[in-house]
Structure 1
Amino acid sequence: MSGEGDETHEIHVRLDHLLAERDMTLAELAVRVGVTNVNLSILKNNRAKAIRFTTLMSICRVLECQPGDLLTYRPVASRSKPG
């Protein structure tokens, strides 16, 4: 398992894809969700360490999507394997 300082994430955010599908800007989403543009940008660029469920619910409500549409899991191939 990775340490807390590890910057490799296995959860990826598909916010840019969903925004493009809905012809919506990050700034518009920020206003409608009630969070800062900077915080959504951090999320969109996969630099977030966590997301509040209330924020996730608001994003899903505004984008009319499910959490699984927004978040994907991609295992990191460079993890050491037993053997």
Structure 2
Amino acid sequence: MPIVIELDVMLARRKVKSKDLAAAIGITEQNLSLLKQGKVKGIRLGTLDAICAYLDCQPGDLLVHMPEPAADQ
């Protein structure tokens, strides 16, 4: 997928544990883990807002666009 979620990087920078973030924003640790691993197809804007507010960051700090290499024809 061309969108990479770098939530684990921001958690490390802020020295925040996943379980603390999950509790603060009202989602399960399992769902946060799936998000960190990039195993979700989408994220609610409300959830993204809550994460950014808690970690004092911007969405662009968490989501990175990595274009897939062009296939040779």
Above 0.5 in TM-score?
A: yes
Question: Highest relative contact order (Cα 8 Å, sep 6+), 1 or 2?
Answer: 2
User: Deviation above 3 Å: which 4+ runs of structure 1?
Assistant: none
Question: For residue 52 of structure 2, what is the aligned residue in structure 1?
Answer: 60
Match for residue 33 of structure 1 among 6, 11, 25: 25
In the superposition, the TM-score normalised over structure 2's length comes to: 0.93
When the two chains are superposed, the root-mean-square deviation of aligned CA atoms in Å is 1.2
After superposition, the C-alpha distances for 1:45-78 in whole angstroms (9 at most, x for unaligned) are: 111100000000000000000000010000111x
In the superposition, the TM-score normalised over structure 1's length comes to: 0.82
**How many residues end up aligned between the 2 structures?**
73
Which residue type is aligned with residue 71 of structure 2?
S
- Counting aligned pairs with the same residue, the percent is 42
| More helix per residue | 2
Match for residue 4 of structure 2 among 7, 12, 27: 12
